[in-house]
């Protein structure tokens, strides 16, 4: 893995950890590593095994592949995650209004 890839994955882990309201120590403890080691992973300085990445993904309740998504895909993924529950509970009139708005683009 290149240094750039390590930094991107580390930044993604940090973003997801913060979204879950977890400290480095809490996430590290949940997967059996130290907060200091997790910090080095998040900064792109530490190499980690596939087992550690899988454990991080599981603890953050995501699929492992999501750690590797580009920033644009990650942003879209976050928007879908926010919109899906809202759309599931929208009434037919609201859904039609949203569809009409989107079709105007």
Token pair for 10: 């580390």
Any idea where the domains of the chain sit in the sequence? Answer: 1-68, 70-105
Angstrom distance (rounded) from CA 47 to CA 94: 48
- 86 vs 105: CA distance, rounded Å: 21
Average pLDDT over the chain reads 88
pTM (whole model) above 0.75: no
**CA nearest neighbour of 38 among 13, 20, 18:** 13
Sign of CA dihedral 16, 56, 11, 68: negative
Rg (CA), the chain: 17
* pLDDT confidence bin for 24, thresholds 50/70/90: very high
Span 1-68: which CATH code?
A: 1.10.260.40
Per residue in 83-95, pLDDT (tens digit) is 888 888 889 998 8
């Amino acid at each position: 893995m290149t240094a750039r890839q390590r930094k991107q994955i580390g930044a993604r882990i940090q973003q997801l950890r913060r979204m879950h309201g977890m400290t480095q120590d809490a996430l590290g403890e949940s997967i059996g590593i130290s907060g200091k080691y997790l910090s080095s992973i998040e900064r792109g300085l530490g190499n980690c095994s596939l087992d550690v990445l899988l454990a991080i993904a599981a603890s953050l309740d995501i699929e492992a592949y999501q750690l590797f998504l580009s920033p644009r895909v990650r942003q879209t993924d976050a928007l879908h995650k926010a919109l899906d529950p809202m759309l599931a509970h929208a009434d037919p009139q609201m859904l039609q209004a949203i569809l009409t708005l989107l079709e105007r683009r």
